[in-house]
Amino acid sequence: MGLSLDALLPYAVTAAKAVIIFVIGWVFAAVAKSITMKICNSVEAIRKHEGLPRSTSNLVYYFILLVTVVAVLEVLGLKYVTQPFLDLLNKVAAYVPNIIGAVIILFVGVFFAKVAKEFVNSLLETFQIEELGKKYGIEDLGGAIGNLVYLFILLFVVIAALNALQIQAITAPAVAMLSAILEAIPRIV
C-alpha cells in the first residue's frame, strides 16, 4: 500500500509555504534588527546607556520571529498551538498605548522637573541664598533646594506614569509607597 504522489503533493506545498514564510520572516527580522541597531546607535540618549541598543534590536528581532513562527504554524494548520500566541500578541498590542503614554509622561515630567530645578537654582542665586547657606556651614544650599524640588516633582511624575501603565500589581504598591513618602515629608520638615 504505497502513497501516491497526488496524496503527498498538498502536504509538500504546505510545507514549502511554511519554509518560505519562515525564511522571509527570518531575513526580515535580521534586517529589522540591523536597522534598529543603527537607529539606536545614532540617537545619543540611547547610545549612552550601555547595552540598550543591542537589547532593543534583539527585542525587535525576536518579536518579528515570534510573529513569523505564528504565521508558519497557521499555514501548517496548527490553530490550537497558535491561539495562545495570538492572544499574547493581541494583549501586547492592546497594552502598547499605555506604555507610550507612560513614557511620554516620564519624558515631559523629567523635562519639567529639570526646568523647575534650574529655575529654583537661578532664583536662589538671584536672592544670594548661597551666602546665607555658607554662613551656616552649608556649601551648596541652592543646589540642595533645587535637587529637592526636582525629586519632589519627580515623585508626582512617577506616580502619574505608573497610573498610566494600569498594572495594579505594580501601580497600587508603588503609589501607596510614594504616597507614604509624600505624607511623611511635612513631618520631617
**How do residues 66-86 score in pLDDT, each as one tens digit?**
889 989 988 988 888 888 888
The proportion of the chain whose per-residue pLDDT surpasses 70, expressed as a percent, equals 98
pLDDT digits (tens, 9 = 90+) for 103-156: 899 999 999 999 999 998 888 888 777 777 777 777 777 788 888 899 989 988
The mean pLDDT of 148-165, rounded to a whole number, is 87
Helices (H), the chain: 5-42, 44-47, 52-75, 79-126, 129-135, 141-165, 168-188
Residue 3: its pLDDT value, please?
Answer: 64
